[in-house]
Chain A
């Protein structure tokens, strides 16, 4: 059997490996370390404990004879028609935050939003979400950091006052033909764009600059040069047989990950099929996408151009044209070119680079392969990123030279994330007037004169068009919590338009979008019906006739100059090549103050609450670096100190640092977590480059990183099972021989379990699961799971009910990666149930392993006896914590709690319940409606949030249910089935498409 490992220490030291840190932990004075009370900060000794015990026994006796506390029941004064106490309402809306888009349903209870679900009606996202979308609901209740009203030079003011000052100022600036600039994130809202236009009409000297922190400017430019269209094309991963990605993390963060994940897994799932797509990834740091690839090649950022030139050349040879003269290609590029050529018009080549030359070359390759109109669609472009770096560069220069009078900043934070932030900050001082619409006091906003806080998106009306013809509406799910105003409304008012933004959107839709459909045509009520339907669905998609593919003329003449440019690029001096990337949790750092996201472990490194320098283990060994060593990362201009993390799969002599950390004005949660690496981005070749050359110097200090997976060892058992497509086609149960053996040879001393009516089961398709972590946050939001902070995570006390374990195999330099979501397995012979002295965990009639918090006395025997280590213990009462500020200890933060799930108190064990509250709710609903439960009716939070639809839930007693069919699949296996605990959770083993074996 293959050797699997989860950390480098383990790989090297097996068997009998000792985690160095674990040793330290056990040597620590147990009481001294853990006795610290989070809520009081006092040391609790055994004596104190006994005293408290004695006191409480006496107190209880006394109190019991007294009266119960008086609880109030305060009804509405007038109940709104649609609000029924105890029944949830769902409103279709959209999550739009600069470059992120997701069509969603907002679940509200008694008028407050408590959960975000994917909207199945959108054909862009099809009900999928990401961790950031799931977590965005918590930022609504971020009472301590959200601005409560408009500010003038950090002093409270009123909207009337702001309008009285700003409008005449704008008018006078405009009259003197001064320059006004709206600096905005990408706007995918057609109505907001129209607001901008109206503003420009009133103030003709206005310039609009779109700026993206993580920019795709080069792609836009390259497509402009290549096809005369400054767009990002739509992709169709489901049509591609071979996907070759150069550093594009399209499953995690690149452009439209929810949509791409959905498309990608369509061709990776093997439901009855015998074929799947092949995915090859060239990249520097090990990304989520790289971890899912069939083959992965670690490269330096500087090598990308040359590889692409070689590939282009090889393909040219196939096409019969004379090749350009370039350095010769390595063999595997020839093989790749051959495969790509064989899959012409069914392949896809991508690059995440922000270099126009490279993107031009990628376009040329795709043109050569005939992919346009097949896997790449220029007629349905993505509007997700519109920022042109050149515009921003010009703006900053103009600001420095005092050529700008007024700057209106909307939803961007250049003082934090612009590579030349200092220049921008200097330029801000030269302005007559600076206005920010930011809802929080971020780095940029703290420097402007007027702050006009925008509503949270869950409080706003808005619309969106993430992709041409795919419209979507944003509707408020709660009244404004604070005295905020929609940015569009502010702009309209200053532009002299006396109209609310809601009416404005309706007008825009009536005039521009309503005519695009022909379902509603009634003269008078037509638009109203159309509007209501769109609002109810959350989306409106232009019914497109299967259009004849428009052939786009490719400008071949630009390819040679691009190649020349790449060849002539000089690598700057520096020990290492640095790659900067967005990570899954924080992205560009906008939601850095969200504790859920901060505690979400990185899907690959499993680190949370920090950013770090990923370094290849080979190189670390050479330079004597180890995990947690602090190093100074320095380029010619910048230097920061960060801890080192040995990351298998990191390209030799390169390092990677996640962006989005090191915020200084994010708020109490996000401030000074990690370091800001945006400083290392550089503007080169006209665009922001997310790589650089740097030096590393060891400081000798140690930093403690919070890893979530050192304490989830499965000790070399056959947890990961896999096969390759070739073997699978020959024998569908290849790689899963053990399962059959177990099924046949199983003997049990226990009676066979009986399940009345229902036997709930969950199946996870490991071929579809990418490991993105949306499910973890969805579970956290649904089940009121506390956030515990870095120190507690380091003590291996993380509370997530579901985790995604990541295993490596093969070489340290370029390992294969496996992701396995693990939650309570709901064993029929559950080991935890036998050991509970107070029967707090019991088996239900329907096969669930029930955990009863109010019975639990916290012996933690069950945790010890659980073979999967999925049980969590409440070491503290996190709702009352004063030392660690998470969301649970504030009144606003608690508004996000799900009233159908109890908040666990201190000293209680908890674990995944398979969302029993949802099961009960759906069952009750079916009983009320006097009908059978439909197969796909119950969706646990993890299943609902999954963009890959990797999770299936249902009734195992019904042999026709989806989950039963998955359990019958030859690929199905259970974790640790050899111990015969009979889990109700099954896994479909991973199949990789590696036709030539491992290259």
Chain B
């Protein structure tokens, strides 16, 4: 009981915040309309201020501007924004104080007009109003017990606030949304999700039961099983985990009013009924708990192998006992043939034990080297920034991703979904757990610097055409034979590098033409402890 009560309160406050955000936006619209027509202050803010300031999201390089109008006079603010440096140099105590506080970072002078500044200030101020209102309403409403009562109270407040009739359409849409949300909430409160509902959700998701409004089944874009090929759309599990931190109402809302363009196009104005939304959500929640299922693949290779074995055994048996096939030669040829096949399979498999060429594991983010490296022409070393001087090439840290993805928020193939993961990692301060593709055993020491900087070997020599890969794949076998072979064949930068100037015998041999070129193995690259120590 207690739980449901608190849950209800949380719910109420959420509903309120939706409305209030809406309110804030509309009131802002009003302000802007009446005061200015030149430039949208929100855009101005984003363009000029947002790099260093936020409104209500905490300090960045510069201070959080929420409520700035209460601490400083408008006149002072305008002067400061026009030229902070002049103010600081003139020794204005407030200016100097804030300059000191924010690590002496200079705010650049602006060439805005006074009216534009006023507009921006008004824009900042508008945030403050909404927050103030939000808290007051929530506080007021906390005493109200019944949801229906809340609804009417809210509506009354909204009506009061809006006054004019031109907003009625919007009001209606709010009402509709509220209805959906309340409905959904009631459901999840009144009844625990049953297995049948999950099952129904699964069927809806997989298209076994069609949606009422002719919406294509989710499974056409979102996998429910793990697959090998590339699907740019997030899998059901991905969606479920992404949703896991949101509450049911938000999820339902997202399904009905998708943020991504792609979803909007697919839905094409159609929408899911409330029940359908509920089932889908229920299914997603269950998937988040249980994880994705593996496709049960037929072990074709094994079956073929067993088949061959059977054929061999049959021919043997036939040759010795049943003698169905008249010509013994046929049997003998069959035995020989299958024998060769079997031993061949065994040898090949044995050779590949421990090797994992073409290993292409699932990554936590659908990162494509093709898009980054080929289409956007980003140099390998921009992200992998240490192969020139370290043994490791360096898996890019999240802040490197954020250099670009601070601005680029929508991907060509994946929309916002995958890029959001990077942003989330950055915000939650949790590094991305990539899956290692190239795994060398512990007892092998490999240095990128030695090969990239000293040996002047290109990345592609070992990694293949990585810029053609959507899914990163291990190109080489990475077997010892492969290493050693390359060492025997590749020419060392022998005369170019000053390091080798003391290798007198080899220089003499080169001069006398005794050897054509110095390969890596001639200077000890194939010694055991060149790599194993």
Q: Taking beta carbons and an 8 Å cutoff, which residues of A are in contact with B?
A: 60, 64-65, 68, 70-79, 84-87, 754, 756-758, 840, 842, 844-846, 848, 850-855, 900-903, 913, 916-917, 920, 923-924, 926-928, 930-933, 955, 957-958
- Stretch from B61-69, B251-259, B426-434 that touches the partner: B426-434
Q: In the assembly, what is the distance between CA of A70 and CA of B503, in Å? A: 43
Q: In the assembly, what is the distance between CA of A955 and CA of B503, in Å? A: 12
Asked if residues B431 and A84 are in contact (CB atoms below 8 Å), the reply is no
- Chain A residue with Cβ nearest B503: A757
- Chain A residue with Cβ nearest B426: A77
A residues near B528, Cβ cutoff 8 Å: 840, 842, 844, 850-852, 855
In terms of DSSP, what is the predominant structure of the interface of chain B? loop
Q: Taking beta carbons and an 8 Å cutoff, which residues of B are in contact with A?
A: 349-350, 353-354, 356, 359, 361, 386, 389-392, 394-400, 425-426, 429-436, 439, 441-443, 445, 447, 449-450, 453-454, 497-503, 505-506, 522-524, 527-530, 532-533
Answer whether A957 and B397 are a contact pair too, CB < 8 Å, given A842-B527, A924-B454: no
Question: What are 25 sample pairs from A and B whose C-beta atoms fall under 8 A apart?
Answer: A60-B353, A64-B349, A70-B361, A71-B435, A72-B433, A72-B435, A73-B395, A74-B431, A74-B433, A75-B395, A76-B397, A76-B431, A77-B431, A84-B386, A86-B390, A87-B389, A754-B505, A844-B528, A844-B530, A846-B527, A850-B532, A901-B533, A917-B533, A920-B445, A930-B497
B residues near A932, Cβ cutoff 8 Å: 498-499, 501-502
B residues near A933, Cβ cutoff 8 Å: 499
The smallest beta-carbon distance between A870 and chain B, in angstroms, is 16
Q: In the assembly, what is the distance between CA of A725 and CA of B523, in Å? A: 44
Asked if residues A850 and B436 are in contact (CB atoms below 8 Å), the reply is no
Asked if residues B386 and A86 are in contact (CB atoms below 8 Å), the reply is yes
Contact of A77 among B391, B429, B499, B502 (CB under 8 A): B429
Asked if residues A845 and B523 are in contact (CB atoms below 8 Å), the reply is yes
Q: In the assembly, what is the distance between CA of A86 and CA of B391, in Å? A: 6
Asked if residues A73 and B397 are in contact (CB atoms below 8 Å), the reply is no
Asked if residues B533 and A916 are in contact (CB atoms below 8 Å), the reply is yes
Q: In the assembly, what is the distance between CA of A900 and CA of B505, in Å? A: 31
B residues near A845, Cβ cutoff 8 Å: 523-524, 527
B residues near A920, Cβ cutoff 8 Å: 445, 447, 530, 533
A residues near B400, Cβ cutoff 8 Å: 79
Q: In the assembly, what is the distance between CA of A846 and CA of B447, in Å? A: 19
- Chain B residue with Cβ nearest A844: B527
B residues near A848, Cβ cutoff 8 Å: 527, 529
Q: In the assembly, what is the distance between CA of A842 and CA of B453, in Å? A: 28
Asked if residues B394 and A85 are in contact (CB atoms below 8 Å), the reply is yes
Asked if residues A68 and B359 are in contact (CB atoms below 8 Å), the reply is yes
The smallest beta-carbon distance between B232 and chain A, in angstroms, is 22
Asked if residues A916 and B529 are in contact (CB atoms below 8 Å), the reply is yes
Asked if residues B499 and A853 are in contact (CB atoms below 8 Å), the reply is no
Asked if residues B389 and A928 are in contact (CB atoms below 8 Å), the reply is yes
Q: In the assembly, what is the distance between CA of A992 and CA of B288, in Å? A: 79
Q: In the assembly, what is the distance between CA of A74 and CA of B398, in Å? A: 10
Answer whether A75 and B529 are a contact pair too, CB < 8 Å, given A928-B449, A930-B497, A930-B498: no
Answer whether A902 and B533 are a contact pair too, CB < 8 Å, given A68-B356, A84-B390: yes
A residues near B436, Cβ cutoff 8 Å: 70-73
The smallest beta-carbon distance between A557 and chain B, in angstroms, is 65
Asked if residues B431 and A928 are in contact (CB atoms below 8 Å), the reply is no
Contact of A852 among B349, B441, B529 (CB under 8 A): B529
Q: In the assembly, what is the distance between CA of A855 and CA of B443, in Å? A: 10
B residues near A65, Cβ cutoff 8 Å: 349
Q: In the assembly, what is the distance between CA of A75 and CA of B506, in Å? A: 42
A78, A917, A920, A927 interface centre (most CB from chain B within 10 Å): A927
Q: In the assembly, what is the distance between CA of A850 and CA of B531, in Å? A: 11
The smallest beta-carbon distance between A404 and chain B, in angstroms, is 47
| The 8 nearest A-B residue pairs measured at CB | A845-B524, A86-B392, A86-B390, A850-B529, A844-B527, A64-B353, A757-B503, A71-B436
Q: In the assembly, what is the distance between CA of A855 and CA of B480, in Å? A: 12
The smallest beta-carbon distance between B298 and chain A, in angstroms, is 15
Asked if residues A71 and B439 are in contact (CB atoms below 8 Å), the reply is yes
Contact of A854 among B350, B356, B392, B441 (CB under 8 A): B441
A residues near B354, Cβ cutoff 8 Å: 64
A residues near B430, Cβ cutoff 8 Å: 77
- Chain B residue with Cβ nearest A852: B528
Q: In the assembly, what is the distance between CA of A419 and CA of B400, in Å? A: 61
- Chain A residue with Cβ nearest B395: A75
A residues near B454, Cβ cutoff 8 Å: 924, 927-928
Asked if residues A78 and B399 are in contact (CB atoms below 8 Å), the reply is yes
The smallest beta-carbon distance between A110 and chain B, in angstroms, is 10
A residues near B533, Cβ cutoff 8 Å: 900-902, 913, 916-917, 920
Asked if residues B524 and A756 are in contact (CB atoms below 8 Å), the reply is yes
B residues near A850, Cβ cutoff 8 Å: 527-529, 532
Q: In the assembly, what is the distance between CA of A900 and CA of B446, in Å? A: 10
A residues near B425, Cβ cutoff 8 Å: 77
| 8 additional A-B residue pairs with CB within 8 Å, beyond A78-B399, A933-B499 | A77-B431, A84-B390, A852-B529, A902-B442, A903-B442, A927-B450, A928-B454, A930-B499
Q: In the assembly, what is the distance between CA of A570 and CA of B500, in Å? A: 73
A residues near B395, Cβ cutoff 8 Å: 73-75
Asked if residues A900 and B499 are in contact (CB atoms below 8 Å), the reply is no
The smallest beta-carbon distance between A778 and chain B, in angstroms, is 17
Contact of A924 among B396, B397, B447, B501 (CB under 8 A): B447
Answer whether A851 and B529 are a contact pair too, CB < 8 Å, given A78-B398, A757-B503: yes
Asked if residues B527 and A928 are in contact (CB atoms below 8 Å), the reply is no
Q: In the assembly, what is the distance between CA of A85 and CA of B396, in Å? A: 11
Answer whether A756 and B443 are a contact pair too, CB < 8 Å, given A74-B431, A850-B527, A932-B501: no
The smallest beta-carbon distance between A641 and chain B, in angstroms, is 46
Q: In the assembly, what is the distance between CA of A931 and CA of B501, in Å? A: 9
- Chain A residue with Cβ nearest B402: A78
Q: In the assembly, what is the distance between CA of A87 and CA of B434, in Å? A: 21
Asked if residues B500 and A900 are in contact (CB atoms below 8 Å), the reply is no
Asked if residues A84 and B389 are in contact (CB atoms below 8 Å), the reply is yes
The smallest beta-carbon distance between A628 and chain B, in angstroms, is 40
Contact of A757 among B399, B434, B502 (CB under 8 A): B502
B residues near A917, Cβ cutoff 8 Å: 445, 533
- Chain A residue with Cβ nearest B302: A65
Answer whether A844 and B389 are a contact pair too, CB < 8 Å, given A71-B435, A73-B434, A928-B454: no
B residues near A926, Cβ cutoff 8 Å: 499
Q: In the assembly, what is the distance between CA of A854 and CA of B531, in Å? A: 11
A60, A73, A840, A844 interface centre (most CB from chain B within 10 Å): A73
The smallest beta-carbon distance between B432 and chain A, in angstroms, is 7
The smallest beta-carbon distance between B161 and chain A, in angstroms, is 43
A residues near B435, Cβ cutoff 8 Å: 70-73
Asked if residues A854 and B529 are in contact (CB atoms below 8 Å), the reply is no
- Chain B residue with Cβ nearest A928: B453
B residues near A931, Cβ cutoff 8 Å: 498-499
Q: In the assembly, what is the distance between CA of A70 and CA of B529, in Å? A: 27
Answer whether A79 and B399 are a contact pair too, CB < 8 Å, given A756-B524, A916-B529, A927-B497: yes
Q: In the assembly, what is the distance between CA of A73 and CA of B453, in Å? A: 23
Q: In the assembly, what is the distance between CA of A917 and CA of B528, in Å? A: 12
